[in-house]
Amino acid sequence: MSGGAREPGRSVTSKVLAILGAFDAARPQLTLTELAARSGVPLSTAHRLVGELEEWQALSRSPDGRLRVGPRLWELGQLAPNRLRELAHPWLQELFGSTGENVHLAVRDGLEVLYVDKVYGRRAVPIVSRIGGRLPMHPTGVGKALLAYEPDWFVQSYLARKLERPTPHTITEPGRLARELAAVRAQGYALTYEEMTPGSCSAAAPVLVDGRPVAALGIVLSSRRARELPRLVEPLRAAATGIAAAYGS
């Protein structure tokens, strides 16, 4: 490998990837010093690599001079195939059209949900999910809908960790969560009330293909309108079933 003499064995490619990987939703903008520290790449090397990445528009500068992901990486990322997102999108669109509410689609990745699509309008309640964003599973509707259909060993190891508590309403007690997941399986959908974000409640249904939860479809509204959730469950489940049928075929 062609890594610098100071770090034998670490390739230039791995340094470039460490620099790119230093950005995430919590830190979408970084100074060069922060970037070097987060990537573990020496400052002088980071300076040189960042120059090349900027020239290619893989990185760009915000008005205050901090670095961020550039337009070329957005454009490149759009080439990544995602059959699920493509076939599900029209269903999300239709569910949004018939309900007027925020709709999103998520998959499980590790111990988190990764949001792969979202449809929202001008009057929608602001929601915390972001396309390409990640959240923990237990406080989100889509996370519960996915977790409920994972094998026991997975659920038990998920519940055995210390669980984040983003709001006072977040359920983190393992026994209570386990009972709730059993209820989700029994009824075929999950409901949350201000467990992820104060002011928001949600319903979510799994997209089940051969019994396996390949994704979850969620709908989010203001918690002042929580009592409208039940009437949204049927269109939500119908869309999730439609996505499953399209995905499995």
**Contact set with a second copy (CB under 8 A):** 2, 4, 11-14, 16-17, 20-21, 23-25, 28, 49, 52-53, 56, 58, 60, 62, 68-71, 73-82, 89-91, 93-94, 96-97, 114, 119-122, 124, 130-133
Per DSSP, which regions of 121-179 are E strands? 134-136
Tell me how far apart the alpha carbons of residues 74 and 105 are, in angstroms, rounded to a whole number.
Answer: 20
Instruction: Name the residue nearer to a second copy (CB basis): 121 or 230.
Output: 121
Q: Quick one: 74 or 154, whose CB is closer to a second copy?
A: 74
Q: In angstroms, give the least distance from the CB of 130 to a second copy.
A: 7
CB of 129 to a second copy, least distance (A): 12
Unique residue bearing structure tokens 């979510």: 204
Could you tell me the smallest distance in angstroms from the CB atom of residue 169 to a second copy?
Answer: 28
Nearer to a second copy, 133 or 143 (CB): 133
Task: Report helix, strand or coil for 240.
Answer: helix
Q: Which is nearer to a second copy, 93 or 172 (CB)?
A: 93
Are 39 and 46 spatial neighbours (Cβ–Cβ below 8 Å)? yes
Tokens 């983003």 sit at which residue?
166
Across 80-109, b (16+ Cβ under 10 Å) vs e yields eeeebbeebbebbebbbeebebbbbbbbbe
Judged by beta carbon, residue 2 or residue 168, the one nearer a second copy is 2
Tell me the closest approach of the beta carbon of residue 53 to a second copy, in angstroms: 7
Smallest separation (angstroms) from a second copy to the CB of 244: 15
Q: Do you know the residue count of the chain?
A: 249
* Alpha carbons 198 and 91: distance in angstroms, whole number: 28
